[in-house]
Structure 1
Amino acid sequence: MPVSLLPADYAGDTALRSPIGAMFSSLSGGPRQARVAVALSGGADSAMLAVHAALALREVPGVALHCFHIHHGLQQTADDWCAHAHRLAWGLGLPCHSLRVQVQARSGKGEEAAAREARYQGLARLARQQGVSHILLAHHLNDQAETVLMRLLRGAGPTGLAAMAANSERDGLNYLRPWLDIERSRILAAADDYAARTGWAPVQDPTNIDDAYTRGAVRRRLAPVLDERWPAWRTILARHAHQARELDDLLSDVAAEDFARLDAGTEKTDFSLAAWRALSAPRRVMVLRYWLRLHGLRAPTAARMRELCRQLDGVHALGHDRNLRLRHEQHLICCVRGRVKLLPLNDNQETL
């Protein structure tokens, strides 16, 4: 029998528990019991998310809650972290499912981006196995501010600064982030209190402050300077993210209306080149971003987007005068007989 890690008299932090409970309430009214998972790494953030999700079940019992642990195999202690996460889940009375993934940096991506991609793929696989439709992520206000800053430095553009959404869809799953307005200091305080009450303490991932990684460099090099000069920078950047999200939603509505007029195919993997050319230049870009997002792909960089638009603008109306084949992530964007198409990339296909 696992040792209980959810004392009957333990209520946790109301500010952390309430937004999770609100999400559970919105999911529990359907005809079937909602199946939700917590992405549990074993660190302080995800551990407190699992704890407060278990507490929220006391108030909103109409949810089947699981824990998912992704084993990246990048640290010598990864096996111990996996076991530690399982102990917490079992102590909370929650089923825990783990999956080891292979992290392979490719297509110009570094290890950080490759690990994130492998993590999402692993979560999607576990969700399919367990019939889970929603996954809780422990991203908080500090994460949001760092993401805005990194995207700003990469030239992501106004809508790119929207950063993370409280509710987003990927691979047919809904990802929920109930803590985007919560400072990490509050989560760490809750973790300290929980450790004092139960003896279970979260793991420490050294890569979180390793400046060999982009986010680690922000935390170790930039954040201390910003904290000293502009103490409220995280809240300000999170506010920018919210405003950019509203702008992105508005532009997405416009792009959706434009895309509906492009004579898209049934699977929405192709559309009319001539209809796309009838749009103004800014709306061409917006509809391409919208199209790629429909298929779970990120927008290209500004330079690659300009190149894509240039090539689409230069190709013959029937697509016979040149062979446009532009690679984007693991797909090809091509033009065949006046149709712009998105195709899965095969290893033997040549790309520009």
Structure 2
Amino acid sequence: MAAWCGRGGFLQITAPISVAYSAGADSTALLLAAHQRWPGQVTALHVHHGLQAAADHFETHAKAFCALHGIALRVERVQAAHAAGESPEDAARQARYTALARMAEQAGAACVLLGQHADDQAETVLLALSRGAGLPGLAAMAERFERHGMVFGRPLLALPSAALRGWLSSAGHAFVDDPSNTDQRYTRNRIRAVLVPAWETSFPGFRPMLARSAAHAAQAQRLLDELAGVDLAQVGTPPAIAALQLLSRDRQANVVRHWLRAQANLAASAAQLDELLDQVAACTTRGHRIHLKIASGFVTREGGRLHFTPPI
């Protein structure tokens, strides 16, 4: 496992590094592999969400495990309760990434390694399909990304969960199982419990195939982003309505999506985008008004350009 840890370019990482360590099997395998590859230069980061009674046990296990193996550990407790209308998983994820980035920066780490693996990637693709996602969703999880000013990496995406657990068991390493992972109130857990076994029965070894589809989607999205950059240079920022009207509707949709993502870090729904493009097409007179709710803000017309107003 230690030799594997360099796949995907991670051997070029500048130490020290940090590993998001939940005390579960996946993050335990990653932490040990990183510790073997960069002895004395790895910090484990444990986020206590406070959402279940077992959270205290996770933290206790993390402290004991890191002490046993001589690995530095940082722990941060967060308030991960979700707001009305917000997904509990999304709220916990946002709180976790914020805490991980903060702890990694405090530790002087160059990056945070995450333990998501091939099974997680397959589940992410299936979840995106079930929601009718576009290319960004179908691209699933990137191997490398930046958030809150910190670089994150997922070096285990090519390895199935069974391989990680098998390695831990054969070496006698302890880990904890999160009871919430079997709670089928959560969509991802239902996919794991119901859909994944059905896919495995019908299409043995399907995980690499879904990963390949995700890679194709990611490549296509990168090309669309490049095209959006070219078009945005032509239509301006914010987009000029007359210049938008010279593009095909598909390119209008692509450049507006790109603009909204860069302007406000949001994505319009398919219905909202269709309505906005209809209004852009109909905007042929000086007095034509555009006013459309997008996510929690509004896209309006100001002079000859589109304008996004964030929520107050």
TM-score tier (shorter)? 0.7 to 0.9
For 1:328, the equivalent position in structure 2 comes to 295
Mapped to 1, the partners of 2:271 and 2:65 lie a distance apart of 46
The answer to whether the Cα contact below 8 Å between 1:41 and 1:81 also exists between their aligned partners in 2 is: yes
For 1:345, the equivalent position in structure 2 comes to 311
Measured after TM superposition, the shift of residue 38 of structure 1 is 1.1
Measured after TM superposition, the shift of residue 334 of structure 1 is 4.3
For 2:31, the equivalent position in structure 1 comes to 50
Query: Scaled by the length of structure 2, what TM-score is found?
Result: 0.87
For 1:123, the equivalent position in structure 2 comes to 100
Residue 283 in structure 1 maps to residue 256 in structure 2 = no
Mapped to 2, the partners of 1:296 and 1:43 lie a distance apart of 35
1:300 aligned to 251, 259, 268, which one?
Answer: 268
Cα RMSD over matched residues? Answer: 2.7
For 2:12, the equivalent position in structure 1 comes to 26
- Measured against aligned partners, the alpha-carbon deviations of 1:239-276 in whole angstroms (never above 9, x if no partner) come to 11111122122222111222233332xxxxx4434433
For 2:90, the equivalent position in structure 1 comes to 113
Mapped to 2, the partners of 1:176 and 1:19 lie a distance apart of 11
Q: Secondary structure at the match of 1:179?
A: coil
Amino acid at match of 2:95: A
Mapped to 2, the partners of 1:133 and 1:344 lie a distance apart of 33
- Classify 1:86/1:237 alpha carbon distance in 2 versus 1 (closer, same or farther; 3 Å): same
Q: Secondary structure at the match of 1:299?
A: coil
Query: Scaled by the length of structure 1, what TM-score is found?
Result: 0.78
- Measured against aligned partners, the alpha-carbon deviations of 1:208-232 in whole angstroms (never above 9, x if no partner) come to 1221101100011112222222212
Amino acid at match of 1:336: E
Structure 1 segments unaligned to the other structure (5+ residues): 1-11, 29-33, 265-269, 347-352
Q: Secondary structure at the match of 2:234?
A: coil
Measured after TM superposition, the shift of residue 317 of structure 1 is 7.3
- Measured against aligned partners, the alpha-carbon deviations of 1:173-209 in whole angstroms (never above 9, x if no partner) come to 2221111111111111122123x2xxx5111112212
Q: Secondary structure at the match of 2:184?
A: coil
Residue 70 in structure 1 maps to residue 47 in structure 2 = yes
The answer to whether the Cα contact below 8 Å between 1:141 and 1:180 also exists between their aligned partners in 2 is: yes
Q: Secondary structure at the match of 1:98?
A: strand
- Classify 1:202/1:118 alpha carbon distance in 2 versus 1 (closer, same or farther; 3 Å): same
Mapped to 2, the partners of 1:169 and 1:35 lie a distance apart of 17
- Classify 1:286/1:190 alpha carbon distance in 2 versus 1 (closer, same or farther; 3 Å): same
Residue 79 in structure 1 maps to residue 79 in structure 2 = no
Residue 241 in structure 1 maps to residue 214 in structure 2 = yes
Task: Provide runs of 4+ in structure 1 moved above 6 Å.
Answer: none
Q: Secondary structure at the match of 2:30?
A: helix
Mapped to 1, the partners of 2:244 and 2:88 lie a distance apart of 36
1:134 aligned to 111, 119, 123, which one?
Answer: 111
Q: Secondary structure at the match of 1:260?
A: helix
Structure 2 segments unaligned to the other structure (5+ residues): none
Count of matched residue positions in the alignment of Structure 1 and Structure 2: 312
Amino acid at match of 2:249: A
Stretch deviating more after TM superposition (223-232 or 73-82): 223-232
- Classify 1:298/1:345 alpha carbon distance in 2 versus 1 (closer, same or farther; 3 Å): closer
- Measured against aligned partners, the alpha-carbon deviations of 1:29-52 in whole angstroms (never above 9, x if no partner) come to xxxxx5432111111101111111
Residue 253 in structure 1 maps to residue 226 in structure 2 = yes
Measured after TM superposition, the shift of residue 57 of structure 1 is 0.8
Q: Secondary structure at the match of 2:243?
A: helix
For 1:89, the equivalent position in structure 2 comes to 66
The answer to whether the Cα contact below 8 Å between 1:170 and 1:296 also exists between their aligned partners in 2 is: no
Mapped to 1, the partners of 2:163 and 2:44 lie a distance apart of 22
Amino acid at match of 2:124: T
Mapped to 2, the partners of 1:216 and 1:235 lie a distance apart of 20
Measured after TM superposition, the shift of residue 295 of structure 1 is 5.9
Measured after TM superposition, the shift of residue 165 of structure 1 is 1.1
For 2:20, the equivalent position in structure 1 comes to 39
Mapped to 1, the partners of 2:93 and 2:192 lie a distance apart of 18
The answer to whether the Cα contact below 8 Å between 1:159 and 1:247 also exists between their aligned partners in 2 is: no
For 1:9, the equivalent position in structure 2 comes to none
Amino acid at match of 1:48: A
